[in-house]
Structure 1
Amino acid sequence: MQRHIRDILDQVPSGRLMSVDLLRGLAIAAMVLVNNPGSWSYVYAPMAHAQWHGWTPTDVIFPLFLFVVGLSMVLSCGRGKPFPAVGWAQWSRALKLFALGLFLAVFFYNFRDDSYSWLQDRVEGIRWMGVLQRIALVYLFCSYLVYWLRAPGLIVAAVLCTLVPWLLMLFVPYQTAAGETFQGQLVFGNHFSAWLDQWLLGADHLYYRAAEPLAFDPEGILTTFSAASTCLLGVLAGLAWKHSKTDAVAQLRLCRDWSLAGGVMLILGQLLHPWVPINKALWSPSFVLVTAGVSALLLAGLFYLVDIRERRRAFAPLLVFGVNAIALFMLAGVVGRLLIMVPVGDTTLKGWLFQTVFQPLFGNYAGSLAFAVASLAVFYLVMWQMYRRRIFWKV
């Protein structure tokens, strides 16, 4: 194990801000862990999303990844270089991410149903939005903002990106297919964002297509602009690093500033909750503040431990995930779908593994978690082989 850790750290380029790679690795590892339980019927509360208003640790994972996207946009330019003009490099990256999201949307076949129509279910009813699609759109949108605006303008943009969608949800009336008119509703299946999703994308192309009175997508159009504010807050955290000095005192001051900003955002978002509900699906302003606050605190903690104190050994395995985050997400998505596609008796391969191995050994909830941990361990072996061969999948 000691040699394994040393092999990981020996490949880290000198001068690289390791804490950001670790933060990305933490986000993607957590995302894979919560997306692959042995059974969705047995999931511990912290590893499930809040049912509607409120938040759990799982609700922080996607915003954390977007926060790191913003950080990485700054770090990729280095301290002394200007941001590049948006061109084919940014567009191709966004298009590839969007295409990978669409691939996962169609990568499924129900072999257990003789009447199943893949063309009708997966192609004609394709879900246009999703995690990777949102990352693609947010990245491209923020690339333009970062090139056009300086820090004060980015602060204003971050506020507007979360405030304008929220005001639209509160004050713009909308009408359902049944002719009912609503305004300011913030309930499951009934809010302005749902109406916009259904109008622009169609009910058959949304994640919650059976929701009443309006189908909607948790990665919908309007809330993608709100999600861009999370990415921009990551950009601002990166700019603080970009404009800081490199001496030890300055780096400690930067760590303190990230901690203070994170603490203030977390507390403010929580205090707003009675009036502005914390809600991931709506990506509300309070949700932006809470999740960005947690992200900034995690960044400050890792930066202090890894980049300042150089306590790297305990965190090294996260680096294997962090430098190949999209490859891990795709691997987990493909394998996860294959496990529920392959029939075994009257269940699926995933159901068979859970019921015959993990559930008898560990019980319902612990067995479901053990399945997720085992899956992550298998994925780690693949990611480690890529890492040691210096295969880094960049989109």
Structure 2
Amino acid sequence: MRPTRLVSLDVFRGLTVMLMTVVNNPGDWGHIYPPLEHAEWNGCTPTDLVFPFFLFIVGVSLAYALAGARRDGLPLSPVLARVARRAAILFGLGVLTSLYPHFDFATVRIMGVLQRIALVYFGCSVIYLTTSWRTQLMLLVIFLASYAALMQLVPVPGVGPANLEPTTNLGAWLDRTLLTEPHLWPTSRTWDPEGLLGTLPALSTGLLGLLAGTWLRWPGPARLSKPVGLALAGVAAVVAGLIWSHWFPINKALWTSSYVLFTGGLALGLLALLYWVCDVRGYRRGVGPALAFGVNAIAVFFFSAILSRTFGLMRLPGSGGQAVGLKEWLYEWGIAPFFHDPRNASLAGAVVCLLIWWGILSFLQRRGWIWKV
């Protein structure tokens, strides 16, 4: 019997997209509450949970989406071709967001969030279709251990001993060597938080989700034991990540092995809670907004970036006398004057953006319009 659709997974994805929308769209980037900012380097804030939660959800989804191909013994070639096509489209959309609106191919950033999602999606799909869950668990451990060894033991050419600094670590050197500086993260042009070497531990985040999805699909354990198993695994992963962080710090930009375990453990715990509430107990009240965001997640991410840059092209006179983009102009005249604390005003701007997207996505959901790649 085919498993029913996981409402909990759609809610999990939707909550993650909602948090992403808030942290990516403050009214004023200069006034943000600390939990809504990334950790400066080492450490983890709620904002640093968004991306690993996405990759974890990708893994869980694959355990359901590709289960039929494994169960029915379908030839791998056409299945892998579909997977490769989807990964290529995701990667291309990521590059397109970097190119827009100026389309400067000489300095376009090659890597990015959608690009990493595409690589993890493809890698985890291939692993799922060709290996058992035991092998997947073994690969997860191997990827984490290998990445830690590479980052902490291998000398950096032209720099010296292994280190974990932003511009001089092994991953930054590899990105500058293979991608070249003009095609790295525009803020630095010397390293990239979604660089090549960091894809290895990012695959482990996807594999954690893959194993969680396999556990939820397993017909053996009683239904109630499934969220319990996820929760226990989550606690173990969080503890392991915190212990490992004493030697290999929790760091999103480097996607360190301790970061994978810590954030993956939190994702396991949240999925366990949502699965028990939504799928075991059948609770549906109040999850509508999360479902609206969850079923059109890629659309929100892609079009948020495109619209934000489009609004930036529409210049209007700002309060300081200089021209500002349409979004900044609306914030300066329509939101900021109503708040004494600029951080509250900035948060209000993000909430307004969230509500606008909720309206759009609810409209699309009612008509059954879902943008899939």
Task: Please say whether Structure 1 and Structure 2 have the same fold, judged by a TM-score greater than 0.5.
Answer: yes
Q: Could you say what secondary structure the match of 1:166 adopts?
A: helix
Deviation at 1:139, TM superposition (A): 0.6
Q: Would you say the 8 A contact 2:98–2:109 is kept in 1?
A: yes
Question: Can you give the 5+ residue segments of structure 2 that lack an aligned partner in the other structure?
Answer: none
User: Counterparts of 2:267 and 2:96 in 1: how far apart (Å)?
Assistant: 29
Q: Would you say the 8 A contact 2:107–2:182 is kept in 1?
A: yes
The residue number in structure 2 matching 1:262 is 234
Q: Would you say the 8 A contact 1:77–1:83 is kept in 2?
A: no
Residues 314-393 of structure 1 aligned to structure 2 (within 5 Å)? 314-345=286-317, 346=322, 347-362=324-339, 363-393=341-371
User: Counterparts of 1:271 and 1:165 in 2: how far apart (Å)?
Assistant: 17
What is the TM-score with the length of structure 1 in the denominator? 0.88
Q: Could you say what secondary structure the match of 1:305 adopts?
A: helix
| Identity, % of aligned positions | 38
Q: 1:263 to 1:156 in 2, by over 3 A?
A: same
What is the TM-score with the length of structure 2 in the denominator? 0.93
The residue number in structure 1 matching 2:82 is 89
User: Counterparts of 2:52 and 2:61 in 1: how far apart (Å)?
Assistant: 14
Correspondence for 1:38 among 17, 27, 31:
27
How many equivalent pairs are there? 362
Moved more, 167-176 or 379-388: 167-176
The residue number in structure 1 matching 2:46 is 57
User: Counterparts of 1:94 and 1:232 in 2: how far apart (Å)?
Assistant: 17
Q: Would you say the 8 A contact 2:8–2:275 is kept in 1?
A: yes
Q: Would you say the 8 A contact 1:273–1:286 is kept in 2?
A: yes
Q: Deviations over 1:20-39 (max 9, x none)?
A: 11111111221121111111
4+ residue segments displaced more than 3 Å: 77-80, 208-211
Residues 178-257 of structure 1 aligned to structure 2 (within 5 Å)? 181-207=159-185, 210=188, 215-245=190-220, 250-257=222-229
The residue number in structure 1 matching 2:258 is 286
User: Counterparts of 1:312 and 1:78 in 2: how far apart (Å)?
Assistant: 26
The residue number in structure 2 matching 1:100 is 93
Deviation at 1:208, TM superposition (A): 5.2
Q: Would you say the 8 A contact 2:156–2:162 is kept in 1?
A: no
What is the RMSD of the two structures over their aligned residues, measured on CA atoms? 1.9
Q: Would you say the 8 A contact 2:59–2:208 is kept in 1?
A: yes
Q: Would you say the 8 A contact 1:331–1:379 is kept in 2?
A: no
Deviation at 1:312, TM superposition (A): 1.1
The residue number in structure 2 matching 1:160 is 142
User: Counterparts of 1:83 and 1:335 in 2: how far apart (Å)?
Assistant: 43
Q: Deviations over 1:13-70 (max 9, x none)?
A: x932100111111112211211111111111111110000010011011000100000
